[in-house]
Chain A
C-alpha cells in the first residue's frame, strides 16, 4: 500500500472540485428533504388531530409504510418506478434539471415526514392534559392555547427525537448515490476510482460526515438546554 498522502488528492483541482460539488449536493439533498419533511409532518400532524377515524387511519398507514420499507427501496421506487409513470415531457424536463436530486429530495422528504410527524405527536402527547384545560380556563381560544401553551411545550419535548432524525436524514442523504446523485459518497467513489487513493479519499469523506453529524448533535444539545432554561424561567 502507498503511504498516506492527502496532497495526492488535494493537489489535483479536478478531484477537489468533484468533492466540493459532492458536498454541495449532500447539503442540497439534506436541506431540501428536511424542509419538505418538516412541512409535510406538520400537515400530517394536523390531519391526525382531526376527529375523523378515516383521516387518522390514513396518516397511520402513511407512517407505517414509510417506516417499514427500507429507505433505499423508497428511493428506487421513486426514481426508477414512479418517474416512469410521468408524462414524457415532464420526464425530459426532469432529465435536464437534475432529476435524480429532485427524486432523492422527494423520496427522503416523504420518508422523513413520517418520522418527524411521529416525533411531534409523541411530544404533543407528553403535554399534560391539564395544560390545555388551564389555557382554555384563562380565556385562550383553541388556536391561542395551541400557539401559546401547547405547541411550545410539545416542540420542546420533541427536540431530542427531531435532532436524532435530522442526523439520520443527513447520513441517509448518502443513499442518493444509488440513484446517481453526485453527492459526497458518489464523489468519493468517483475520485477513488480515478486516483486509486482509497484510504485518503475515504478518510476525507468519513471525516466530513462525522464532523457535520457531531455538529448537528451538539446543536441539538444546545437547543434542548436553552429550551429547558426558558421553561424554568
Chain B
C-alpha cells in the first residue's frame, strides 16, 4: 500500500482484492462478544470532517475503536476553522500533535491530495468534494462480492445524480477495474461529459438501463451541491428516474439494490424498494466498518517506496 488512501485511482487490482479479503477477516471481529483487537494500540487517528456526516464518521470511529486506536473527532462546526483558519494551517497544527492517521472529509475536490503533500501522517480520504469516496466504493464492492461471489462480468447500473457524486467516480473506477459491465443513468443535465472514456455505458432511460441488471446502485440527489435547476421538480425526477418496484422487476430476479445513504425516499428510491427484499442498504452500512478496519490496518504498515 502507498502512504495514503486518496482514491480508487491509486489502487492496483491486487490492492483492492487485499483490502476486500482483509475486510472478510475483520468482519468476524464485529460478531464477537468483545468487539476489539489490540492491533492499533497506541496509534492516534484524527477524524477531520468539514462536511456533515453521520454514517461515514461513525463507521470510521467504530472501526478505529475496534482496532484499539485512540480517536478524536474534529467537527468543523465547533473548530477554529470558523475563525478563518485555512485547511493547510489546521492540518499542520493537528500534525504538530503527531497523530498517525488523519481521516478527512472536505467539500473541495483535491483537499486530501493537498494534505497528503504537507502531512507526514497517513491521509485517508473520507470523501472530497465531487472527486472520490474510496472507502464507500470498497464497501460497495465488498457487499456485491458477498452476494454475487464475484464482480467480474456483472451488470451494475448506477442511477441518479451522476454529476455531483464522488461515490459514482470511485465506484466506476473500482468496478470497471475489476471487470464489471457498468451502466450509468441519469437526467442529461446530470451526466458528466466524457464518461464513456472510463469504460461505462451511458443511458438516459432507466427502464432500458436496468434490464438484466445484477446490481442497481442508487445515488442521492444532492440538493446541497446543486447550483441551478437540473430537473423541473423532485416529483418529476421520481417519475422519470426513481427506483420503483416496476423498474426493479426488469432487472435479474436476484438483483440487489444499493444506496450509499442518506436516502431521499420518494425522490431517487421508493420506500417499498428501499425496505424491500432486494435491498442490501443496511448491509452496506454494516460492511463499511469491516472495510474501514481493513484500510486502517493495511495503511498502518510501512508505506511502499520509503
**Are A and B associated in one complex?**
no
